[in-house]
């Protein structure tokens, strides 16, 4: 049996601020393992959205991409 799924891919640009909390200044400089992090998206611009029809064969892990539709 064949089932259809839709894959939606959205491309764009984002302006954001990332705030991270570290134990020491050395950890902050390395940028690894923050205690806490918070992201604020200031601006989001969507430039392109694509839709792709994907058929999935039931009881089989193979899939086949059939069609691409593009919206700009």
- Full residue range of the structural domain in which residue 40 is found: 2-71
Quote the DSSP letter at residue 23. S
3-state secondary structure of 25: helix
- Structural domains counted in the chain: 1
Residue 55's pLDDT is: 77
Selected residue with higher pLDDT from 70 and 32? 32
User: Which tens digit of pLDDT belongs to each residue from 21-67?
Assistant: 999 999 999 999 999 999 999 999 999 999 999 877 766 555 555 54
pTM for this model (two decimals):
0.52
State both tokens at 17. Answer: 């601020």
DSSP line for 26-69: HHHHHT-S-SEEEEEEEEEEEEEEEEEEEEEETT---EEEEEEE
């Amino acid at each position: 049996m064949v089932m259809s799924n839709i894959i939606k891919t959205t491309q764009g640009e984002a302006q954001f601020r990332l705030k991270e909390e570290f134990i020491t200044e050395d950890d902050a400089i390395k940028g690894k393992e923050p205690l806490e992090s918070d992201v604020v998206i200031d601006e989001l611009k969507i430039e392109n959205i694509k839709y792709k029809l994907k058929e999935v064969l039931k009881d089989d892990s193979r899939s086949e991409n059939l069609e691409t539709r593009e919206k700009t």
